[in-house]
Each structure stands twice: as structure tokens, then as C-alpha cells.
Amino acid sequence: MISDAITALLDSGTPVSALIGPLSAQGNVGYIGHDNWKKGRTAAWAFHHTCRSPGKIGVLLGNHRYRNQEINESGFRSYLREQDAGFSVLEPLQTFESAAVAREMTEKLLGEHPDLCGLFVSGGGITGALAALKDRPRRKDFVCVAYEIFDATRAGLIDGTITMTLSYPIRTFAREIVATMVKAHKAGPDAGAQRVNIPIAIHTSENV
């Protein structure tokens, strides 16, 4: 239904750009957001370089139908496969962007895999995952990588529950959205899709 709506807009001469997650249609659809392949590989790099020893990594994502999260996971696995670092990436569990479900899934991972060395929260529900992690005795060698910087993730970085966040620089993102829409409007429907990769803002406890 979304693809049909996009196609109808493009046919009417209205340019369309997707934000954060790429979309597909018969015509050219622009994109403004992170390079999700690189984002996933950057998350994997964090585990590779901060885990004291390789082990099992749990993965939470919002929904398998979100293309950005699927690409994130592919990049994540690609990096660890290339490095042959000895990590075992478990099958991702869906949170449906719900904090309650994320908490439940995190508790499930911790209960079924006591040897879990880290958690990659690739989708929504981070507050629930944080609550589950804080309910357990903290392990200094446990690594958690999540997305976006806001009050809860900032606090998680400061207290050590989260190791790193990969975020959108919001002001840059907003400026690029407006600039891209203006450019697409001025260029007209035959100019082709506009693609803008937004830089990834990396936060740790030392720079929040």
C-alpha cells in the first residue's frame, strides 16, 4: 500500500524521500538517513574491540519489516564474519518497538544464555532492555550497543549499562531534510532521487 501511494505521488510529479529507513517503489525514491550497512558494521566493531573475550551476542530489533534494521543486522553479521572473531550472533528477537516486550526479550536472553557477552539493541524498546539489564548484577565485561541519545540512554551510558550509542545528529538531520526537499522541488521530477547519508554520532560515557 505504501509503495502504491509513493508511485501515485511520483506519477503526479511530487518527489518523495524516505527518512531513516529506505522505501521502494516503481519510481525513484530519495533517502535521507544513515548508511545502515555501515551502522551495523560500526556496532559490530564496538563488540569486537570492547568485549574481553568473544561469546554470544543477543540482538533485539523492532520488526523484521523495517528495512533499516534488517540492513543493520546484515552489516553487523558481515563485520563479525569477515573478522572471524569467534562471536556467535543469536537469532534476533522482535520487540515491536515496545519497552515491555524488549524487557521480556532481554530477560529471556539472559535467562537462556547465562554466558551472553553482549546485547545489540538494533530497534525500539531500549528503555525496557535497560530495565532488564539493571535488574541483574552488573557484569563489567558485558557490552551493550544501542541507538539514539536521549535521557534514558544518556543515563545508561553514564552508569555503564550501555557501552556505546549510535545516533542521529538531530540538527544536522533536520537541516538536510529541509535542504533535500527544497532541492528536489527545484530540480523537478526528472532530476532523479536525492540521497543524503547522515553522519553517525557515536556516544560513550566519556563524551555525553
Tens of pLDDT, residue by residue over 53-96, are 999 999 999 998 899 999 999 999 999 999 998 999 999 999 99
What is residue 141's predicted lDDT score, i.e. its pLDDT?
92
pLDDT at residue 48, as a whole number: 97
Instruction: Compute the distance between CA of residue 6 and CA of residue 30 in angstroms, rounded to an integer.
Output: 11
189: pLDDT strictly greater than 90: no
- Are both 118 and 193 inside the same structural domain? no
Task: Indicate which CATH number applies to the domain containing 99.
Answer: 3.40.50.2300
> Do residues 47 and 26 share a domain?
no
* Cα separation, 115 vs 94, whole angstroms: 21
Q: Considering the chain, what percentage of its residues have pLDDT values greater than 70?
A: 100
Give yes or no: residues 174 and 188 share one domain: yes
pLDDT band at 194 (very low <50, low <70, confident <90, very high): confident
For residue 188, pLDDT over 80 is answered with no
Q: Which domain holds residue 67?
A: 36-167
- Using the structure block, give the residue that is written with the C-alpha cell 533517502: 31
